[in-house]
Chain A
């Protein structure tokens, strides 16, 4: 399939290039459109497929899933959903995840925005070092730090608590958030800031009353990416939220489902659970699609 894709891209580009000097713009667009439109559709099908597959599989029986992965469900088996919701406690984990993510997202945004603002707008000694220290955090594999992290969290008395998870999530999201928002704050016009300062606005006032509102689009888009990553976070809660499974977050519950699927063959329950877990994320994306767009755009405006 990929070779097919590449072939078509090449073709589309070639057809564009070959006619580069051709002044008959309209015809050129027509031919290219045929290719590119087909390709657009193909890619759309390719990306929509898994979601559809997951959704349909959540209604199938295990036998149907294994013996005919691409067939339609023989009946709408809502019991898969209710089994995932009740037996696998997806409902409770859902709520727990909501609590943790609400906390961690707020903290990440607050600390990320303030740090990024300082990096973007103020000159001081050690700025470069501090900045690279943050950004370097994007590149280290988390699971090598697990054991030391376990002890740090436990010694802080935060083991097995949501507060601990919130702090750790926020800490591990800072690199990306700071990286993204620093670039964003740099693009905001300096003239407004200077005017505000001259008008007697203090440094703090400037940030909260002028810069933060201006940065709203960027904040929203980075918040959404953080939401996605916090919501799907798996390794950290696995280690830091052991034992008491009433405090588990969604990813832990899903993994329990996914792993037991490997041993007990409850594929349908897994798909139902995954669908339940994916829906809110999808809803968030669809609802904020516009903001993500403008958020990413605003960074480019000068």
Chain B
């Protein structure tokens, strides 16, 4: 089919195979031959009751990323699966190092059936997708929901959930949680000091001035992971120029980073750098250190996703009442209203293409996406899922209620970008470095955008990285 395939076939038939593929195939990568195909896969008969064709006694192996959410929620999902398929034996394991743990098994062709590919040791999705290592989840979307009558799984998902996990139009990755990205502040401090969260950029700057005069630093950020600050900056640009700004960036279009909207946003944000509205020393802090400084009231604002509340639970003073808010609008010319916020599905799950029990993996996802499964998750780990309305009737912590409200207010104006999923290196290394220079005052807005653009260009020119396009 594609060029790679043809090259490989030629190589296998021809001379190339002897010296090159010899050692690799002979020792390191034996046993993982594609051609074996589905020989050992478990398949059941599809029926109305069993739309995915699960073999009821087929074992299911689940590997969970043991991070902020722990592993208990997964054990609950596994129990629900087992309830439906009592004959299935479930093997559960949890690890922090997904890539090192599972790499040999992928090569070997014996990966587990469900992988929660998350955390710092996440396997790069670009690599997985380009190697066809992930099973298509299309059948899952079409299947009826387990406990929401009359709806397919797809109908039960929040907008954007499918798009984020899609590569070249194929839905490959189930992002289970729903995360909002915005600017956080303490409602307690703001009430006490009589500060008002500003809706426009000019007001925001005025507020920063007021905050600074009160002896508090307006902003802090994780100087060791400065990409956290790229989020509000890009959000500002998207609200100013519309969602096409993000599409251009995601599609690696030439000079996407230097669009007028990005320029306007970078110029605006430069103000907080120029006027020294950032807590001294922030460039030397990591995310925990900066968030802790913020919780201690040393700074008023911080940029983060909706996991902030649980991440900081142990050091947040009682009654701090953190709240999320959208980025301020640049002005009346903005294409999106102030309420628009970045909401996106996160916490990726996948079924490896060579898993023995692909149908079981999909069915496991269907269990996770049932109302019961989703509610249990939200109760256990205080996070939202991509299942619409699954929080109904559940008591949420303060910060998370503000997240729910912000997402509701944002509604169909919500936006997102996915270049960080497509090209991990671009956000984690290249844009990250550019943000570090920009927010510490070492580069100007023009230089900042230039550095981001150069990063994007190196990715675009690297023929060994598979490219993806998304439609508006």
Q: Which residues of A contact B (CB under 8 A)?
A: 62-63, 66-67, 143, 146-148, 150-152, 154-155, 235, 238-239, 242-243, 245, 255-256, 259-260, 262-265
- 10 pairs of A and B residues whose beta carbons are closest in the complex: A263-B68, A150-B104, A259-B96, A263-B67, A62-B314, A148-B28, A265-B314, A66-B292, A66-B315, A63-B315
Could you list some 8 contacts between A and B, CB below 8 A? A62-B315, A66-B315, A235-B100, A259-B120, A263-B67, A264-B67, A264-B70, A265-B314
B315 near A255 with CB under 8 A, answer: no
Contact B314 A148 (CB under 8 A): no
Q: A238-B100, A239-B101 are in contact. Are A147 and B107 (CB under 8 A)?
A: yes
Judged by a CB distance under 8 angstroms, whether B131 is at the interface is no
Q: Is B132 an interface residue when CB atoms closer than 8 A count as contact?
A: no
Q: How far is the CA of A66 from the CA of B311 in the complex (A)?
A: 12
Q: Please tell me if the beta carbons of A239 and B104 are within 8 angstroms of each other in the complex.
A: yes
Contact surface of B with A, Cβ cutoff 8 Å: 27-30, 66-70, 93, 95-97, 100-101, 103-104, 107-108, 119-120, 288, 292, 296, 311-315
CB-defined contacts of A238 to chain B, threshold 8 Å:
97, 100-101
B28 touches A147 (CB 8 A): yes
Question: By the criterion CB–CB under 8 Å, are A63 and B100 in contact?
Answer: no
Would you call A148 and B27 a contact (CB within 8 A)? yes
Chain A contacts of B313 at CB under 8 A?
A: 265
Q: Are B28 and A151 in contact (CB under 8 A)?
A: yes
Q: In the complex, A67 Cα to B313 Cα: how many Å?
A: 13
Distance in angstroms from B472 CB to nearest chain A CB is 35
B314 touches A260 (CB 8 A): no
Kindly report which residue of chain B lies nearest to residue A146, judged by CB atoms: B100
User: How many contacting A-B pairs (Cβ < 8 A)?
Assistant: 77
Q: Complex formed: what's the CA distance from A67 to B104 in Å?
A: 41
* Interface residues of B, dominant DSSP: loop
A264 to B315, Cβ gap below 8 A?
Answer: no
Chain B residues, Cβ within 8 Å of A263: 67-69, 119, 311
Which residues of chain A are within 8 angstroms of B108 by Cβ–Cβ distance? Answer: 151, 154
Cα–Cα distance between A235 and B30 once the two chains are bound (Å): 23
* Docked-complex contact A152 and B103, CB < 8 angstroms: no
Residues of B within 8 A of A242 (CB): 93, 95, 101
The reply to whether B288 and A66 form a contact with Cβ atoms under 8 Å apart is: yes
Chain B residues whose CB sits within 8 angstroms of the CB of A264 once the complex forms: 67-68, 70
Residues of B within 8 A of A63 (CB): 314-315
Distance, CA A245 to CA B9, complexed state (A): 41
Closest A residue to B307 by beta carbon equals A263
A259: which B residues are within 8 A, CB to CB? 66-67, 96-97, 119-120
Contact of B29 with A260 in the complex, beta carbons under 8 Å: no
Q: Is the CB of B315 within 8 A of A67?
A: yes
Task: Specify the chain A residue showing the minimal Cβ separation from B69.
Answer: A263
Q: What are the residues of chain B within 8 A of A62 when measuring CB–CB?
A: 314-315
User: Complex formed: what's the CA distance from A137 to B313 in Å?
Assistant: 46
Complex CA gap A143/B312 in Å reads: 33
In angstroms, Cα B29 to Cα A147, docked, is 8
A238-B101, A262-B67 given; 20 more Cβ-contact pairs under 8 Å: A66-B288, A67-B296, A143-B100, A147-B28, A147-B103, A147-B104, A148-B28, A150-B104, A151-B27, A152-B27, A154-B108, A155-B30, A235-B100, A238-B100, A242-B101, A245-B93, A260-B96, A262-B288, A263-B67, A265-B314
Question: Do B96 and A256 touch (CB < 8 A)?
Answer: yes
Residues from chain B with a CB closer than 8 A to the CB of A262 are 67, 120, 288
Bound state CA distance, A243 and B93, in angstroms? 6
Q: Across the two chains, which residue of chain A brings its CB closest to B28?
A: A148
Contact residues in B for A154 (Cβ distance below 8 Å): 104, 108
